[in-house]
């Protein structure tokens, strides 16, 4: 018995990564292509012909804003990025690092922002891939244009970026990220100064909580900036044709900046510890002031209490108890003795503040 073959031939076409791939996510793709004479900027809604250059001998910067895994993997495949680097790009919470794979320089580090509303540091992972004539940048957040100043500089025909190789753009991107650290440190510095004034004037409990929060933010800052120092130092030492010697001199400036940023962060961290001591000392002084006030009130009221207690005893024979002026004498003593004691305390300087 013959069986009819009901299976259909698989006619599904296998997509080539270079063919049309629609971007249906929130990921934004910006392509900057430039030479010394011309510059083209366009937002790509798909990956069709994304690796084709419109200008001869041009340098291309592809900025991917967003974390769509499919888009990132397709772009990485188009530009022949190693699987290990793709894994690093898609991973989160890594320590800043750099690597050299298949004639590609790869760096992973973090852009830092200071949220004025929550008073906290926000971080965004940035991956940069440098090839001979192409730079790829991968950002997590599509809403924040961290490299806006770079895209503006590309419009300047006389600027250094337009007249240098791709490695200079690589330097400019690193420099932008490091400069973001200074903006965060400046905001934290203002917060610390305001907090110091608050502690001196009115050391409330929320001030102590803010000190601990600032210490945590500074720890987060150092955790993300200290490895960048080692990263920049390693890039400066590498022998790679993608990096010109004159560009390494500019990277030396970035290295100096990150060193200064780390020193400022460490100084602020130590200062927050001093603020904690200042808070505790101020609270103790306030407590001493309260205890001194209570002691004065107790001492002032003690004579009246003693006199009232003596003449309140149930004895028939007591001095001036049957005198017509006895009540006035007793009340007078209750008033005059505390007045004398207050004068004596004032004379001895008890009413002067200790701070």
Residue among 164, 136, 30, 161 at smallest CA distance from 75: 136
Angstrom CA distances, 189 to 55, 82, 218, 282, stand at 46, 41, 10, 21
d(CA 119, CA 190): 11
**106 with 139, same domain?**
yes
Q: Is residue 14 domain-resident?
A: no
**296 with 276, same domain?**
no
Do 63 and 41 touch, CB atoms closer than 8 A? no
Beta strand pairing call for 120-130 and 39-44: unpaired
Range of the domain at 316: 288-347
**105 with 197, same domain?**
yes
In this prediction, residue 18 carries a pLDDT of: 36
In this prediction, residue 346 carries a pLDDT of: 81
d(CA 232, CA 251): 7
User: Which value, in Å, is the radius of gyration of the alpha carbons in the chain?
Assistant: 37
Q: Which CATH number characterizes residue 339's domain?
A: 1.20.58.340
Listed residues 245, 280, 315: the one ending a domain: 280
**215 with 319, same domain?**
no
Angstrom CA distances, 53 to 8, 58, 320, stand at 41, 7, 115
In this prediction, residue 310 carries a pLDDT of: 76
Determine phi and psi for 109, rounding to 5 degrees. Answer: -150, -175
**270 with 327, same domain?**
no
Listed residues 254, 280, 306: the one ending a domain: 280
Angstrom CA distances, 294 to 246, 257, 284, 291, 348, stand at 73, 55, 15, 5, 17
Do 195 and 275 touch, CB atoms closer than 8 A? yes
Contacts of residue 323, Cβ cutoff 8 Å, sequence gap at least 6: 329
Q: Is residue 88 domain-resident?
A: yes
**275 with 295, same domain?**
no
**177 with 39, same domain?**
yes
Kindly report the CA angle at 107 between 101 and 112, in degrees rounded to 5?
165
49-86 b/e with 16+ CB inside 10 Å = b?
ebeebeeeebbbbbbbbbbbeebbbbbbebbebeeebb
Consecutive 10-residue averages of pLDDT for the chain (355 residues): 39 36 67 89 82 84 89 89 89 87 89 90 92 91 81 84 91 93 92 87 82 89 91 89 89 92 90 83 78 79 79 73 76 84 79 60
Residues in the chain: 355
Domain count, the chain: 2
**140 with 273, same domain?**
yes
Three-state SS at 115: strand
State pTM to two decimals.
0.74
Listed residues 264, 280, 296: the one ending a domain: 280
Q: Is residue 19 domain-resident?
A: no
In this prediction, residue 353 carries a pLDDT of: 61
Q: Is residue 211 domain-resident?
A: yes
Q: Is residue 11 domain-resident?
A: no
In this prediction, residue 15 carries a pLDDT of: 34
CA 152 to chain centroid: 25
In this prediction, residue 137 carries a pLDDT of: 94
In eight-state DSSP terms, residue 46 is B
d(CA 46, CA 100): 29
Q: Is residue 48 domain-resident?
A: yes
**267 with 298, same domain?**
no
Residue among 135, 136, 151 at smallest CA distance from 59: 135
**314 with 241, same domain?**
no
What tens digit of pLDDT does each residue of 248-297 get? 889 999 999 999 999 998 899 888 888 888 887 777 777 777 787 787 77
**336 with 196, same domain?**
no
Residue 160's CB is within 10 A of a number of other CB atoms, namely 13
Beta strand pairing call for 120-130 and 134-139: antiparallel
Q: Is residue 4 domain-resident?
A: no
Q: Which CATH number characterizes residue 128's domain?
A: 3.30.460.20
In this prediction, residue 168 carries a pLDDT of: 93
119: left (phi over 0), alpha (psi -120 to 50) or beta: left
Q: Is residue 7 domain-resident?
A: no
Angle between helices 245-311 and 166-201 (to 10 degrees): 10
Alpha-carbon torsion, ordered 61, 62, 66, 72, to 10 deg: -140
**195 with 328, same domain?**
no
What tens digit of pLDDT does each residue of 115-127 get? 988 889 999 999 9
């Amino acid at each position: 018995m013959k069986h009819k073959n009901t299976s259909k031939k698989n006619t599904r076409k296998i997509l080539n990564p270079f063919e049309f791939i629609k971007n249906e996510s929130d990921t934004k793709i910006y392509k900057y292509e430039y030479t010394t004479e011309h510059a083209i900027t366009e937002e790509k809604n798909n990956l069709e012909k994304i690796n084709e250059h419109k200008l001869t001998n041009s340098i291309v910067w592809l900025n991917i804003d967003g974390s769509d895994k499919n888009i990132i993997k397709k772009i990485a495949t188009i530009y022949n990025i190693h699987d290990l680097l793709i894994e690093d790009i898609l991973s989160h919470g890594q320590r800043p690092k750099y690597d050299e794979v298949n004639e590609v320089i790869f760096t992973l580090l973090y852009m830092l922002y200071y949220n004025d509303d929550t008073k906290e540091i926000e971080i965004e992972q940035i991956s940069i891939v440098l090839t001979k004539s192409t730079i790829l940048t991968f950002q997590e957040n599509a809403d924040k244009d961290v490299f806006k100043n770079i895209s503006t500089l590309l419009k300047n025909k006389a600027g250094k970026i337009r007249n240098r190789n791709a490695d200079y753009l690589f330097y400019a991107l690193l420099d932008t990220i490091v400069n973001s650290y200074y903006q965060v440190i400046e905001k934290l510095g203002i917060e610390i100064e305001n907090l110091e004034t608050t502690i001196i004037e009115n050391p409330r409990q929320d001030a102590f909580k803010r000190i601990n929060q600032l210490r945590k933010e500074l720890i987060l800052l150092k955790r993300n900036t200290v490895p960048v120092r080692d990263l920049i130092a390693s890039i400066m030492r590498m022998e790679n044709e993608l990096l010109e010697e004159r560009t390494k001199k500019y990277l030396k400036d970035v290295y100096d900046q990150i060193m200064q940023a780390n020193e400022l962060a460490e100084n602020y961290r130590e200062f927050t510890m001093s603020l904690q001591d200042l808070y505790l000392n101020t609270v103790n002084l306030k407590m001493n002031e309260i205890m001194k006030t209570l002691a004065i009130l107790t001492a002032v009221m003690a004579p009246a209490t003693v006199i009232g207690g003596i003449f309140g005893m149930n004895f028939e024979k007591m001095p001036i108890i049957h005198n017509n002026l006895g009540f006035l004498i007793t009340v007078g003593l209750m008033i005059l003795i505390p007045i004398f004691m207050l004068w004596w305390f004032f004379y001895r300087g008890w009413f002067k503040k200790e701070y």
